[in-house]
Structure 1
Amino acid sequence: MDLEAVRTFVVAADAGQFQEAAADLSITQQAVSKRIAVLEKDLGVRLFTRTARGAALTIDGQAFLPHARELLRVAERAVASVRAGHRPLRVDVIASRGAASGLMRGFHRAHPEIELDVVWLFDIETAVAAIRSGAIDASFRAVAAPGRPLPGDIESVRAIDEPLQLLTGPAHALAGARSVTLAQLAGHRIWMPGIVPGTEWAAYYDDLVAEFGLTIEATGPNFGSDALLDTVADTPALATFMGAQTRLVWPAGHDLRRIPVTDPTPVYPHSLLWRRDNPHPALATLHAHLAATAAGHDDAGTWVPHWVGPR
């Protein structure tokens, strides 16, 4: 159904004259008559009868009028829902406890007037597909894993470099250390069941293992961070890596230790990805916020894989 014809019908019904409706719509009276005729043909009924005073609604016209008004209201709501700045900014943060989630909480505190939808997608291919389709506006990812460059219509900017820390239980051999070097970690078992082959974080840890001779085990099912903390607390032979800005809560009896890693400090690079032609005005506000709050990248004494970008 032609919405312009429906709008013309409503204006003509309110005016009671095609000539006045034409003036209100800034079109000719002939155009009004033509639109009404098309609508009547589509509906298979007459909507107006001509009178000496103008045009009067038929019984069918009276029945159709409230529905025509609702059609126009629904159309306006549909347009408003996607009009730039009139819908929430939708951002993927990968996980609720990670650094990207913390960045978006800071953004929300700084800009409470911007409505947000926060989602959790799995790997970079899923996130990029969602950005390109318009399902989300942006995603935080490490880019770009070897052999998988970003599509040309996707932009990225480095948002934050998150240092890794070693997480141990109280009985682990390194539990009392104030810091540990990557060389000291050689020979220790680092258990990370959340590493999934083919993901960007798997590529990151593959390079970390290859360059520094570490032993990272991804065996066993991934029951989530709570189960991981339980196991690390109870198993002196196991430790794990955690991002310094990853929010963790554990029972006091676990007595877990978060130990800085140095010489060099491995940092996990979080970048913001978005579609180049995305018009949502809140994206520019998010970019400015990240630029103002993010620390420097590639600092002396830090390590990232060679493929990480942009630098």
Structure 2
Amino acid sequence: MDLNAVRTFVAVVDAGQFQDAAAALSVTQQAVSKRIAALEKDLQVRLFTRTARGARLTIDGQAFLPHARELLRVAERADASVRPGRRALRVDVHSRRTAPSVLLQDFHRTYPRIELDVVTLDADFHAATAAVEAGTVDATFHAVPVPVRHLPDAVRAVRMIDEHHELLVGPRHALANARVVTPAQLAAHRIWMPGMVAGTEWASYYDELAAAFGLTIDRVGPAFGNEALLAEIADSAELATLAGERTRYLWPDRYDLRRIPVRDPAPIYPMSLIWRDDNPHPALSTLRDHLSSRRMDTPDEDVWMPKWGQ
């Protein structure tokens, strides 16, 4: 169905006359008449009868009117859902459990009137950056494993999150009762991270972390999801994994899992907000300012991060 014809039909109803509808639509009266005639031909009914006082709806026209208005409302919502500057601010996060999601929820609480569309592209840095460049998303959170000067034209990246690590173990693990652990202590234990995809920036990060401290990062086995991972760790005296300190996990009380900070030095996973500098969305600068104000710097802390994150 021709939406221009439907829009013209509604304009005639609201104006009461073809001439006034033409003025409202900035078209000729002849164009209005042609559109209405085409719509009537398409529907195979008469929508108006002309009187000395203007255009009057027929019974079929009265029946069609609420549906015509709804068609235009749906079209408007569809347009707003994808058009930059009108749609919700669309931000990609790799997981809804991790620090970027936590910070976006804080942003939403601070600015509840800003429409926010949180999506998960399930993409690495390169694919997510391509989505930003294409305008598919307004921004994404990723570690940036390449020099900023190598980013595509107009794409910008600023480090916004320095995520500390925690060791996640079950109650029978040798480190279960430790209040803090060091990377040196972890060298004697198996760190299980199944399903990590080689070639991604997070795989690169953990490769460098393992090399720096002599860690054993075990990627063996398919990933059956966080729930299965937590159940395996809770039942094991040997398995452990690493998680961001702001990553959200839920598990039954009977698991008695322990989250233990890793310090001296504290490994830091650096994440940047990536966006197009020429993106016109009015809420994007608000998001950047909000994240900058929430950035937690720890200049006096002994930290470690990969060379490409510095």
Is the 8 Å Cα contact of residues 165 and 259 (structure 1) preserved in structure 2? yes
Output the CA distance in 2 between the equivalents of 1:231 and 1:69: 55
The one-letter code matched in structure 2 to 1:244 is E
How do 1:19-58 and structure 2 match up within 5 A? none
Output the CA distance in 2 between the equivalents of 1:161 and 1:210: 20
Q: Secondary structure at the match of 1:158?
A: strand
Bigger-Rg structure (1/2): 1
Is the 8 Å Cα contact of residues 7 and 72 (structure 2) preserved in structure 1? yes
Per the alignment, residue 256 of structure 1 pairs with 257
Output the CA distance in 2 between the equivalents of 1:173 and 1:299: 30
Per the alignment, residue 307 of structure 1 pairs with 308
Cα 1:13–1:98 shift into 2, 3 Å: closer
Output the CA distance in 1 between the equivalents of 2:142 and 2:37: 54
Cα 1:153–1:204 shift into 2, 3 Å: same
Q: Secondary structure at the match of 1:288?
A: helix
1:294 aligns with 2:295: yes
Per the alignment, residue 160 of structure 2 pairs with 159
How do 1:134-145 and structure 2 match up within 5 A? 134-145=135-146
1:103 aligns with 2:103: yes
Cα 1:244–1:32 shift into 2, 3 Å: same
Per the alignment, residue 48 of structure 1 pairs with none
The one-letter code matched in structure 2 to 1:286 is L
Residue-pair matches, total: 306
Q: Secondary structure at the match of 2:241?
A: strand
Task: Name the Cα RMSD after superposition.
Answer: 4.0
TM-score, normalized by length of structure 1?
0.77
Is the 8 Å Cα contact of residues 107 and 286 (structure 1) preserved in structure 2? yes
Runs (4 or more) in structure 1 with deviation over 4 Å come to: 1-27, 31-41, 65-85, 145-149
Is the 8 Å Cα contact of residues 97 and 247 (structure 1) preserved in structure 2? yes
Q: Secondary structure at the match of 1:203?
A: helix
Could you list the runs of 5+ residues in structure 2 that have no partner in the other structure?
Answer: 42-51
Output the CA distance in 1 between the equivalents of 2:16 and 2:262: 79
Cα 1:172–1:82 shift into 2, 3 Å: closer
Output the CA distance in 1 between the equivalents of 2:140 and 2:6: 41
Is the 8 Å Cα contact of residues 91 and 118 (structure 2) preserved in structure 1? yes
1:229 aligns with 2:212: no
The one-letter code matched in structure 2 to 1:174 is L
Identity score, percent: 56
Cα 1:202–1:111 shift into 2, 3 Å: same
Per the alignment, residue 48 of structure 2 pairs with none
Output the CA distance in 1 between the equivalents of 2:140 and 2:101: 11
Output the CA distance in 1 between the equivalents of 2:93 and 2:119: 6
Is the 8 Å Cα contact of residues 12 and 21 (structure 1) preserved in structure 2? yes
TM-score, normalized by length of structure 2?
0.77
Output the CA distance in 2 between the equivalents of 1:16 and 1:175: 77
The one-letter code matched in structure 2 to 1:111 is Y
How do 1:88-237 and structure 2 match up within 5 A? 88-124=88-124, 125-145=126-146, 149-237=150-238
Range 240-249 or range 122-131, more displaced: 122-131
Q: By how many angstroms is 1:193 displaced?
A: 0.7
Range 69-78 or range 106-115, more displaced: 69-78
The one-letter code matched in structure 2 to 1:181 is T
Is the 8 Å Cα contact of residues 168 and 239 (structure 1) preserved in structure 2? yes
Is the 8 Å Cα contact of residues 8 and 36 (structure 1) preserved in structure 2? no
Cα 1:71–1:108 shift into 2, 3 Å: closer
Output the CA distance in 2 between the equivalents of 1:141 and 1:149: 15
How do 1:269-284 and structure 2 match up within 5 A? 269-284=270-285
Cα 1:277–1:171 shift into 2, 3 Å: same
Q: By how many angstroms is 1:273 displaced?
A: 1.4
Q: By how many angstroms is 1:95 displaced?
A: 1.1
Q: Secondary structure at the match of 2:307?
A: coil
Q: By how many angstroms is 1:17 displaced?
A: 8.8
Output the CA distance in 2 between the equivalents of 1:116 and 1:188: 41
Per the alignment, residue 49 of structure 1 pairs with none
Q: By how many angstroms is 1:251 displaced?
A: 2.2
Once the two structures are superposed, residues 51-100 of structure 1 have per-residue CA deviations (whole angstroms, 9 ceiling, x without a partner) of xx9x999x9xx9xx979988877765565555655321111121121111
The one-letter code matched in structure 2 to 1:92 is D
Q: By how many angstroms is 1:161 displaced?
A: 0.8
Q: By how many angstroms is 1:174 displaced?
A: 1.8
Output the CA distance in 1 between the equivalents of 2:17 and 2:5: 15
Is the 8 Å Cα contact of residues 5 and 39 (structure 1) preserved in structure 2? yes
Range 139-148 or range 88-97, more displaced: 139-148
Is the 8 Å Cα contact of residues 165 and 266 (structure 2) preserved in structure 1? yes
